[in-house]
């Protein structure tokens, strides 16, 4: 259609859809069983929000466009999710889904103990003690055993972590 037949005020800006947590290209979308359940709960909530959206036609159309964009991103994550079941008797080494307690042996946090659970990118919440498996600290810890040392490199600082517990 010729631009001569399009009113300027008919041009609607594309809505901003906030991105989901970063998952690097080519990296498998690992999730815990509870993480996958949370994604399904989130999808249900967005579908309910979309169904109950009210307002003027313009407001409703914009709101639904944002919700649909969020649903598209969420559905892509659900479809690509690969569930990793927890090990029943506790793992011998740090792996996806492990809860790890470690101590900083040097660097600015020397003597500090931390406990984190390694989870999928959509499940991560540092305040809740959950870190994504793609995080540098998770990558440093994965594969290590109790009593083992992990080396965390965050240039210019290199920190050594002593694994105290894995569950």
Q: What pLDDT sits at residue 15?
A: 85
Residues forming beta bridges with residue 154, ordered by sequence position: 157
CA distances from 157 to 78, 106, 144, 151, 152 (A): 36, 10, 20, 10, 8
Task: State how far the Cα of 126 lies from the Cα of 139, in Å rounded to an integer.
Answer: 15
For 123, counting Cβ atoms within 10 Å of its Cβ (0-12 exposed, 13-18 middle, 19+ buried), the class is buried
Q: What is the pTM of this model?
A: 0.85
Q: What pLDDT sits at residue 8?
A: 55
- Backbone angles phi and psi of 164, in degrees to 5: -100, -35
Task: State how far the Cα of 17 lies from the Cα of 97, in Å rounded to an integer.
Answer: 29
Strands, DSSP E only, in 1-76? 29-31
Delineate the domains of the chain, giving CATH numbers in brackets: 20-83 (1.10.287), 99-166 (3.10.50.30)
43's tokens: 């999808």
Strands, DSSP E only, in the chain? 29-31, 81-83, 99-104, 113-119, 130-132, 149-154, 157-166
Could you check whether the bond before residue 156 is cis, i.e. omega within 30 degrees of 0?
A: yes
- pLDDT in tens for each of the 167 residues of the chain? 455 555 555 566 788 898 999 999 999 999 999 999 999 999 999 999 999 998 888 999 999 999 999 999 999 999 999 999 988 777 799 999 999 999 999 988 999 999 999 999 999 999 999 999 999 999 999 999 999 999 999 888 889 999 999 99
Q: What pLDDT sits at residue 155?
A: 86
Helix, strand, or coil here: 83? Answer: strand
- Decide if 79 contacts 28 (C-beta within 8 A): no
Helix (H) or strand (E) holding 38: helix 33-51
Q: What pLDDT sits at residue 103?
A: 98
């Amino acid at each position: 259609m010729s631009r001569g037949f399009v009113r300027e005020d008919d041009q609607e800006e594309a809505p901003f859809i906030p991105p989901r947590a970063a998952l690097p290209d080519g990296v498998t979308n690992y999730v815990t069983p509870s993480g996958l359940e949370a994604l399904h709960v989130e999808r249900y909530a967005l579908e309910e929000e979309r169904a109950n959206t009210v307002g003027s036609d313009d407001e409703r159309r914009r709101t639904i466009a944002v919700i649909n964009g969020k649903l598209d991103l969420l559905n892509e994550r659900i479809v690509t999710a690969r569930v990793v079941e927890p090990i029943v008797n506790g793992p011998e080494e740090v792996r996806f889904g492990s809860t790890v307690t470690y101590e900083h042996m040097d660097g600015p946090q020397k003597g500090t103990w931390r406990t984190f659970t390694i989870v999928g990118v959509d499940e991560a919440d540092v305040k809740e003690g959950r870190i994504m498996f793609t995080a540098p600290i998770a990558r440093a810890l994965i594969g290590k055993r109790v009593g083992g040392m992990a080396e965390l490199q965050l240039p210019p600082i290199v920190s050594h972590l002593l694994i105290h517990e894995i569950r």
